[in-house]
Structure 1
Amino acid sequence: MKQLWDLAGVFAYLSLLTVGGGMAAFPELKELTVNTYHWVTFPELLHFYSLGQLSPGPNMMMVASIGAVVGHIPGAIVALVAFFLPTGLLTFAVGRLWTHLATWRWRPAIQTGLGSVAVGLVLAGAIIMGMGAITDVFYGAIGLAVFLLLWRTKINPAYPIIASGLIGIGMHYFGLS
């Protein structure tokens, strides 16, 4: 039962860090789930996050996977509710207030500041994830190639993700990784 309360506390807290999306909470997600509570390993967390990126719907539905590891079906439900409910309620309240303050002179400054915060949090998440996923020069080259491809073209991100996965499977199959 204590683990369910721990799950609720961790994911309710993490939900409030998702300014800019789920990647913004990734460094703290790693710190709490891997280093503090030891619910999953870093490679497992990367796998859960990757699967969340590929599946339809919000990518942070992957918190259910962590909850399931910790507390089976009740853990998955607690993790989902704790992660999405606080942010949903806060977004609803702030959205109503934000509409009410449409002519407030500080509003543009707050929007600009929150944009910078979101970019910083997402960048921190990307760096933490990269540190775990890029384990040698070959995988660094794949990551750079996918980054450049996505940055310079309008290709659907699913294609390089699938291609990278197939390359990884091939590397593992032939014993090269």
Structure 2
Amino acid sequence: MWSTLADLFVHGAMWSLLAVGGMNATLADIQRYAVDTRHWVTGEQFVTFFSITQAAPGPNGMAVALIGFQAAGLSGALVSTLAKILPSSLMAYFVSAWVERKQDSLLVTAIRKGLAPVTVGLLVSAAYVFARETDVNVSRALCTLVCAAVAYRSKLNPMYLVAASALLGLAGVFG
């Protein structure tokens, strides 16, 4: 039990510090570790946990609490939540004043420009993980592609895409 809690804390802390651009940037690594390496959750559970936390109010980092709960009960949920919040919060607290003072410096500008492509790459890898876990047939893959294209090309509220996809799922379109 203690080794699982330590593992949850260490990896949660790493994900916290890696979450440049938000928790979604770390999803590919969280999935790899929690599903493929440690087998705390299945791929389907991982997608479900993330989907639930996206629909719920509050931070989308709540998915790590659900994974922690699955791995080690209530103490796992608490440890993984603390690990996800504490390191990045402390770093933001201590670094923000320096960044504000030096915001026009070459170093801060370089860091910002360097982190942008890292964030995009991490988000693309997270999108790939979700597509791989959920697009198990042609109709689901087509729904993913259509939703991505509509979201990219229009200003349509994504909740309409979620609602339409849910209705298609209820109608049995996705098998």
TM-score (norm 2): 0.91
Partner of 1:121 in structure 2?
Answer: 122
C-alpha RMSD of the superposition: 1.6
Distance 1:138 1:102 in 2: 48
Partner of 2:99 in structure 1?
Answer: 98
Pairs within 5 Å for 1:1-177: 1-171=2-172, 177=175
| Contact in 2 for aligned 1:54/1:158 (Cα 8 Å) | no
Question: Helix, strand or coil for the counterpart of 1:106?
Answer: helix
Distance 2:108 2:48 in 1: 39
The percentage of aligned residue pairs carrying the same residue is: 33
Q: Report deviation, 1:86.
A: 0.6
CA distance 1:37–1:107, change in 2 (3 Å): same
| Contact in 2 for aligned 1:21/1:122 (Cα 8 Å) | no
Which sits farther off after the overlay, 145-154 or 81-90?
145-154
Distance 2:143 2:15 in 1: 30
Q: Report deviation, 1:73.
A: 1.6
Question: Helix, strand or coil for the counterpart of 1:16?
Answer: helix
Distance 2:157 2:104 in 1: 38
| Contact in 2 for aligned 1:52/1:60 (Cα 8 Å) | yes
Distance 1:166 1:71 in 2: 35
Distance 2:28 2:171 in 1: 29
| Contact in 2 for aligned 1:64/1:75 (Cα 8 Å) | yes
AA in 2 matched with 1:93: F
| Contact in 1 for aligned 2:103/2:109 (Cα 8 Å) | no
May I ask how many residue pairs the two structures share in their alignment?
Answer: 174
Query: CA-to-partner distance for each residue in 1:57-105, whole Å, 9 max, x for gaps?
Result: 1111111111111222221111111111111111122212211212323
Task: Tell me which of the two structures has the higher relative contact order, counting C-alpha pairs closer than 8 angstroms and 6 or more residues apart.
Answer: 1
| Contact in 2 for aligned 1:20/1:121 (Cα 8 Å) | no
Gaps (5+ residues) in structure 1?
Answer: none
